[in-house]
Structure formats: structure tokens, C-alpha cells
């Protein structure tokens, strides 16, 4: 059996892409996207129809381009999600605007809008996860949404304080970013890390063990991998979201893959229970340079991708000659 087949014995494999052909090739249970991935896909000619449909729909949702563009972005994200759900049997994660990461009310409003559009397309809430950055404000938004039956995926998660706060808020799933953690430590220390010593692997392992030790229902989905070694060290994690390139490498590797994370083993560990209120969250975040740097960087990166995506939409709108938009 391939390592991909072995991995699927214990872990739900999620495709981390906006490309439908890649999703079809590796048969994941779920799929997740982000603004950077949607931007890459939206630039490809085969997905132009999804872009055009979002533009035409969004133009009827407001009078000014500044308002219309936000509706178009939401619709484009949902369009990709709907198409992905025609391929995967499980769920798709759709991200709210990263520029709202520190605004609880705006995040809640956009999440409701996204879910309303999925509802209009006949997609039930059980098949959609709304992705929200793991700021304190984002976690509070997710707490509100979960009580309304809108399931959330807390992304850009780098520290245990974020993970605990998210689980205490009752979120469905968290996405710790393995590779980005590794990147930070390599740059900060000048060292390389491998296997179980990888700081990204250690971080996800700590979150997984904490959740299983204390009986949280929130699931852990490791994300942002740099190599299949990281994936192998996290075999047994609830879910792993993996790029097409690494899925291909796992599928082409014929080898046994032992389980590394196990809920029963986690329950036997001695782990300190931490109560995380806003004061504790802020203090832990301040003292975690890596989490502070990577959360800020991640939000800025996704925000920049959205600006580029808006520019692409404005350009395409001009090509369609529907109307001449104001400056983006």
C-alpha cells in the first residue's frame, strides 16, 4: 500500500487546493481553500466561468464598486466551494475576509452571508466549514456562529493558547500550521529540523494531546506542510490538509506508515489544564514570538491575496464591459 492509503486508515485526508482536477486525482474526504489558493485558480482560463458568474451576481448586490466587490469575493469563494463539493463526499472550508480578523461583528456577518449563499445553492451546513483567523476576536465570532449551527475552522493557529481558546469556544475544527512554524524556527535559529524534532510537528502534537486528554470535541487538522516527513510524524491526527504535490509524493511512496498520534495514549499523559481568558490569551500570545509573528504575517498575506483577487475581478469586469468600476 502507498503511504497515502496507510494514512487514510487513521486520518481524514483533506486536499489543500482550489484546483478541481487535483482533488479528483487524490480522492480526499474534504477540501479546504484560502485566498491565495483561490487567486491561483481564478487566474486559470478553465475557471473563468466561475469568476464571471460571481461578477454578474455581485453587481446586483450594491450600487458602488466598493460594496459590490465584497459580494463578488464572497460569491467567488462559494462558487469554488460548490464545485469542490461536487467532487468530495465531505466538507469544504471557505474563508472569511482576512481583513476582518480583528472585527468580531464583521466576521459574524460575513460568515452568515457565506452560509446563506451555500443555502441558496442547496448546500447544507453540515458540508461547510467557515474559516476564521485564530485571533481572540475571530474565536469570539466562531463561538457565536457555532451556537447558530454554523461550523467553523479556526485557521492561522500557531500557539497552544489559540487552540485552547478555540476549543473552549466550541469550534468544530482548528488548523495548526506546521510548515509555517518550521519556517520561523529555521530562520530564528539557523538550524534545520527533521522528524519528531520539527517544531511544527511538536506544536500539532501538543494541541492533539491536549484535546484528547481533556475530552474536547474540537478536531485537529494539521496544515501547511513542507515535506511528507512532517505528515508521517502526524499520522493519526484527526485530519490533515495536504497540497497536491505532497499527496502525489505520498501516493508514489510504497511503505508502511505507523500511527504516531493516538487518543488513548494521549489520555495517559500528564498535561496541565490551562484556563484561557482574554488576559491569559494576550499574555501567552505576547510571550510567543513565533505565534505573534506568524499570525500577523498570515493575516497580512491572505489580505494581500484578496487585494490581488479584487484587482483580477476589476480587470475581468472591464473585459466583460458590464460597467467601468471605480478604483479598487
Q: Give the pLDDT confidence of 159-181 residue by residue, as tens digits.
A: 999 999 999 999 999 999 999 99
Calculate the CA 102 to chain-centre distance: 17
133/131 Cα distance (integer angstroms): 7
Contact (Cβ atoms closer than 8 angstroms) between residue 100 and residue 114: no
Angle in degrees, CA 87, 90, 95, rounded to 5: 90
Chain segment 284-293, per-residue pLDDT in tens: 999 999 999 9
Cα dihedral sign, 65-113-103-215:
negative
Grid cell at residue 167: 476549543
Q: How confident is the model at residue 66 (pLDDT cuts 50, 70, 90)?
A: confident
In terms of Cα–Cα distance, which of 16, 22, 24, 12 is closest to 87? 24
109/96 Cα distance (integer angstroms): 10
Residue that the C-alpha cell 469556544 belongs to: 169
pLDDT tops 60 at residue 325: no
Calculate the CA 79 to chain-centre distance: 17
We find that the CATH architecture of domain 3-28+88-303 is Alpha-Beta Barrel (3.20)
pLDDT of residue 321: 58
- Beta-bridge partners for 176: 157
Q: How confident is the model at residue 37 (pLDDT cuts 50, 70, 90)?
A: confident
pLDDT tops 60 at residue 328: no
Q: Which helix (H) or strand (E) holds 132?
A: strand 128-133
Residue that the C-alpha cell 510524524 belongs to: 233
Calculate the CA 159 to chain-centre distance: 15
Angle in degrees, CA 19, 25, 26, rounded to 5: 100
pLDDT of residue 322: 46
Chain segment 233-245, per-residue pLDDT in tens: 999 999 999 999 9
Angle in degrees, CA 194, 192, 134, rounded to 5: 80
Which phi and psi (to 5°) does residue 134 adopt? Answer: -85, 50
Contact (Cβ atoms closer than 8 angstroms) between residue 130 and residue 150: yes
Contact (Cβ atoms closer than 8 angstroms) between residue 310 and residue 326: no
169/218 Cα distance (integer angstroms): 9
DSSP assignment string, 293-328: HHHHHHHHHHHHHHHHHHHHHHHHHHHHTS--PPP-
pTM over 0.95: no
Contact (Cβ atoms closer than 8 angstroms) between residue 53 and residue 79: yes
Least confidently predicted of 10-19, 58-67, 98-107, 183-192: 58-67
Residue that the C-alpha cell 446563506 belongs to: 116
Chain segment 86-131, per-residue pLDDT in tens: 999 999 999 999 999 999 999 999 999 999 999 999 999 999 999 9
Q: What is the mean pLDDT of the chain?
A: 94
What are the boundaries of each domain within the chain?
A: 3-28+88-303
Active site amino acids: 131
Chain segment 179-211, per-residue pLDDT in tens: 999 999 999 999 999 999 999 999 999 999 999
Least confidently predicted of 128-142, 238-252, 291-305, 312-326: 312-326
In terms of Cα–Cα distance, which of 35, 32, 36, 34 is closest to 12? 32
Q: How confident is the model at residue 63 (pLDDT cuts 50, 70, 90)?
A: confident
Chain segment 237-283, per-residue pLDDT in tens: 999 999 999 999 999 999 999 999 999 999 999 999 999 999 999 99
Amino acid at each position: 500500500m502507498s503511504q497515502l492509503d496507510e494514512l487514510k486508515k487513521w486520518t481524514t485526508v483533506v486536499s489543500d487546493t482550489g484546483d478541481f482536477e487535483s482533488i479528483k486525482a487524490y480522492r480526499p474526504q474534504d477540501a479546504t481553500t484560502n485566498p491565495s489558493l483561490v487567486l491561483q485558480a481564478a487566474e486559470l482560463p478553465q475557471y473563468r466561468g466561475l469568476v464571471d458568474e460571481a461578477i454578474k451576481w455581485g453587481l446586483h448586490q450594491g450600487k458602488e464598486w466598493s460594496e459590490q466587490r465584497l459580494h463578488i469575493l464572497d460569491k467567488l469563494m462559494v462558487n469554488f466551494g460548490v464545485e469542490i463539493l461536487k467532487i468530495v463526499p465531505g466538507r469544504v472550508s471557505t474563508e472569511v475576509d482576512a481583513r476582518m480578523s480583528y472585527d468580531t461583528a464583521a466576521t459574524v456577518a460575513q460568515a452568515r452571508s457565506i452560509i446563506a449563499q451555500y443555502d441558496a445553492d442547496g448546500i447544507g451546513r453540515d458540508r461547510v466549514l467557515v474559516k476564521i483567523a485564530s485571533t481572540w476576536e475571530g474565536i469570539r465570532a466562531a463561538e457565536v456562529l457555532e451556537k447558530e449551527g454554523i461550523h467553523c475552522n479556526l485557521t492561522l493557529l500557531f500557539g497552544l493558547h489559540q487552540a485552547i481558546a478555540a476549543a473552549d469556544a466550541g469550534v468544530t475544527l482548528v488548523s495548526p500550521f506546521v510548515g509555517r512554524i518550521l519556517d520561523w524556527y529555521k530562520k530564528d535559529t539557523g538550524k534545520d529540523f527533521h522528524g519528531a524534532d520539527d517544531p511544527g510537528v511538536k506544536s500539532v502534537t501538543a494541541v492533539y494531546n491536549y484535546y484528547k486528554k481533556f475530552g474536547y470535541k474540537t478536531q485537529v487538522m494539521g496544515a501547511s506542510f513542507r515535506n511528507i516527513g512532517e505528515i508521517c510524524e502526524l499520522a493519526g491526527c484527526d485530519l490533515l490538509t495536504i497540497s497536491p504535490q505532497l499527496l502525489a509524493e505520498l501516493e508514489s511512496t510504497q511503505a508502511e506508515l505507523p500511527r504516531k498520534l493516538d487518543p488513548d495514549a494521549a489520555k495517559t499523559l500528564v498535561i496541565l489544564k490551562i484556563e484561557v481568558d482574554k488576559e491569559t490569551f494576550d499574555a501567552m500570545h505576547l510571550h510567543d514570538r513565533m505565534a505573534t509573528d506568524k499570525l500577523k504575517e498570515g493575516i497580512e498575506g491572505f489580505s494581500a491575496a484578496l487585494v490581488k483577487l479584487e484587482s483580477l475581478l476589476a480587470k475581468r469586469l472591464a473585459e466583460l464591459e458590464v460597467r467601468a468600476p471605480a478604483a479598487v
